[in-house]
Amino acid sequence: MAPMDSFGRPQTVLLLGAKSGIGLAIVARMVGDGARHVILAGREPESLPQPDFDAKVDHVYFDAAETSAHRKFFDEMFETHPAIDVVVVAFGVLRDQLETEAEPDLAIEMAEVNYVGAASALLHASKRLRDRGGGQIVVLSSVAGVTPRRSNFAYGSSKAAVDFFARGLAASLKGTEVRMLVVRPGFVHTAMTAGMKTRPFAVSPEKVADAVVEAMARRSEVIWVPPVLRWVMAALRRLPSRLVDKLDR
């Protein structure tokens, strides 16, 4: 079994995407609930600010797009830190839709990071957790991946792909002690969305973190943040595309 405490709370958390505002909020909430060790993984570990966590914090190098190095990374992580019981997959790239249409390489970059990189990380993390007895994976998806929209279909398609992949992987993990939580937030006020037009039902990273920790306790597999977005997106899927386009302006 995973080395969580007697109440099932995580003790050692690996965050992939050390600059993610949502990821850091999730980790901070877990530390508040008793996590004692945090490993922040990103492309520039030496430049990351030291978070105000009441826990031991390590910074390590990780590049989501460098999938050929992922096997070595996870081998070293679980050898050096065998007590990892939660892996949070929070990295991602968000490009302006019109820019991706003008410069296709930007859309390819999003696909390589948001989907290919995430799929690789999910496979490696799940294998290591399964081999050592169990644990929890949290992966950040998005409501952008639910219904194609003119304003962000390049980004949305990459999130739709990782959402599909994570849910399929979760099905393959049935009968093991490894749990998968797919998180579908709407618009979240973070550095990545700064300057963008806000959307209805926008939330803070802390609201997402609260929902994630509560969902982990319930052993949920998919959550929407805020929950009302489940019904909003269900309604949008039933509308003609021309009406969706008008609402998306």
Number of domains the chain is built from: 1
Per-residue pLDDT of 120-146, as tens digits, reads 999 999 999 999 999 999 999 999 888
Q: pLDDT at position 243, please?
A: 59
Catalytic residues: 155
Query: What single DSSP character describes residue 188?
Result: B
Range of the domain at 214: 12-247
The Cα 119–Cα 60 span in angstroms is 20
Q: Residue 226, preceding bond cis, omega within 30 degrees?
A: yes
Please name the residues in contact with 14: beta carbons below 8 A apart, sequence gap of 6 or more.
39, 41, 77, 81, 84, 86, 87, 88, 125
Summarize pLDDT for 73-90 with one digit per residue, the tens. Answer: 999 999 999 999 999 999
Residue 4 maps to a domain? no
Q: What is the pLDDT of residues 209-244, one digit of tens each?
A: 999 999 999 999 999 999 999 888 777 666 666 655
CATH of the domain at 97: 3.40.50.720
Other CB atoms within 10 Å distance of the CB of residue 222: 16
Say if residues 143 and 224 touch (Cβ distance below 8 Å). Answer: yes
Residue 1 domain flag: no
**Angle (nearest 5°) at CA 159 between 158 and 160:** 90
Measure the CA angle with vertex 108, ends 106 and 111; round to 5°: 115
Could you tell me if 202 and 189 are in contact, meaning their C-beta atoms sit under 8 angstroms apart? yes
Q: Is 164 a member of any domain?
A: yes
| 2, part of any domain | no
**DSSP structure class, residue 191:** G
Contact of 219 with 179, CB cutoff 8 Å:
yes
Q: Does residue 3 sit within a domain?
A: no
Confidence grade of residue 8 (pLDDT, cut at 50, 70, 90): low
Per-residue pLDDT tens over the stretch 144-168: 888 777 788 999 999 999 999 999 9
Sequential DSSP letters for 135-180: EEEEEE--GGGTS--TTTHHHHHHHHHHHHHHHHHHHHTTTSSEEE
The DSSP code for 50 is -
Residue 135 placed within a domain: yes
Position 224 in a domain: yes
Question: What are all long-range contacts of 79-84, with beta carbons under 8 Å and residues at least 24 apart?
Answer: 81/12, 81/14, 81/37, 81/39, 82/132, 83/3, 83/11, 83/12, 83/37, 84/12, 84/13, 84/14, 84/39, 84/128, 84/129, 84/135
Asked, for residue 126, whether it belongs to a domain, the answer is yes
Instruction: At 122, list the tokens.
Output: 């999910």
**pTM for the predicted model, two decimal places:** 0.90
